[in-house]
Structure 1
Amino acid sequence: MEELSNQDKQLLRILQNNARFDITDLTERLNMSRTSVYDRIKKLEKEGYIKNYVALVDNKKVGLNFTVIVNVSLHSQQQEVTEHFAKEIVKLDEVMEAFITGGIVDCVLKVVVKDVEEYNNFIAQKLSVIPSISKIQSSFVMQYVKQSTELFF
């Protein structure tokens, strides 16, 4: 992939903030024609800079009030163990984000559920039954300080 132009970077910044763009607004802000803006967007999509367009839903408005950061240790760091664990984790709807990590724990999960009872059921019936897990530690989110999907470059 080639280096992004300043206009491509500016376009990506705008779309990160609001993907429901008004083409007239974009043409004015970028000082480009409609065709050029559309062509650049299609190019950025094709090259994988834009992965998807989504609506960010407020979890509390839909009744998912309980967010937990879960640190998971595996009994082994062998590739096949890690890969099996990852395949199992992606099946769990409650897991919003999952990171295989280096350091003290092997995986960090962001889990969003209705309440502590639902979280307890998630641990007992879904997470702890994955055979490669040796330890689970939970931290309950008390307050969101910063929540963003926007990359700065």
Structure 2
Amino acid sequence: MNELDNLDRAILAVLTRDGRIPVAKLAERVGLSETPCTRRLKRLEQDGYITGYRAKLSRRAMGLGVLAFAQVRFSVHDRTLADRFEREVLAIDRVISCHNISGTADYLLKIVATDLDEYGDFMRDVLRTLPGVTSVESMLSLREVKPDDGLPAY
């Protein structure tokens, strides 16, 4: 990867707020003409700084009123079991992020559900039945103070 300069960082900062901005407007915002801005944008994509573009969906508008975090623990720490767990988690749409963590738990999952009943069913019928899982501790989000809007462009 190439080193980022201030113009690259400015481009990334604008794109994190508006990924659909036309190149002409992006160039104007960062103080470049279109051609050099386009070149930088393509390089940022090719170098892996920009991994894709997507729409940010409203959880509430999608009918997903529950946001939960689940700490998942294993009693046996076996690589094959962990690999199976991770493969299965990747296929579950309700799990919107999964992190292998340090501390008393093995994984931290961010999960969405329509309501508490559906979340309870998901816990009983899906999460607790995954390979290796021996215990799950849930924490429900009462209010989202700062949403995940992507990485800052330092």
TM-score w.r.t. the length of structure 2 is: 0.93
Percent of aligned positions that are identical:
29
Letter in 1 for 2:125: Q
1:30 maps to 2:39? no
Gaps of 5+ in 2: none
Aligned match of 2:52: 52
Contact 1:17 1:150 (C-alpha < 8 Å) held by counterparts: no
Aligned match of 1:63: 63
Partners in 2 of 1:30 and 1:123 — Cα distance?
A: 47
Deviation, structure 1 residue 62:
1.3
Aligned match of 1:82: 82
Q: Residues 35-89 of structure 1, C-alpha deviation per residue, up to 9 Å, x if partnerless?
A: 1111111111111100110111111111110111101001223322222111111
1:129 maps to 2:129? yes
1:19 maps to 2:19? yes
Partners in 2 of 1:138 and 1:150 — Cα distance?
A: 24
Partners in 2 of 1:77 and 1:101 — Cα distance?
A: 13
Deviation, structure 1 residue 25:
2.1
TM-score w.r.t. the length of structure 1 is: 0.94
Deviation, structure 1 residue 5:
1.5
Gaps of 5+ in 1: none
Q: Secondary structure at the match of 1:50?
A: coil
Aligned match of 2:140: 140
Aligned match of 1:9: 9
* Number of residue pairs matched by the alignment: 153
